[in-house]
Amino acid sequence: MLVTGNIKADGLKTGALEPREEIQRLLGPRAGQQVLVAGSTHAPEERWLAAAWKEHVPDARLVLVPRHPERAAGIVEELARTSACACSA
């Protein structure tokens, strides 16, 4: 057996990256603002996270990254419909 490492991670660049201006403007926090990021989420986790965020840290930036990106539009619609947040995809 030959162990070569993790081909998913070994080729990744590491270290700090500066986001492009447009990404920073759209997703970046205001000065001093906390950011809550939830990645690889499944239903109904987004609804639970949005409710906890709204109740406990509503001033933080909430970034949801669903495991299946094609679900994003549906998540935005659901959260907007339930008044969980002012959402955008």
pLDDT at 11: 73
pLDDT one-digit tens code per residue, 31-79: 889 889 999 999 999 999 999 999 999 999 898 999 999 999 999 999 9
Rama region for 32: left / alpha / beta (φ>0; ψ in -120 to 50; rest): left
In angstroms, the CA 86 to CA 72 distance is 14
- Overall pTM > 0.75: no
CB of 50 closer than 8 Å to CB of 76:
no
In angstroms, the CA 70 to CA 76 distance is 11
Average pLDDT of span 4-21: 74
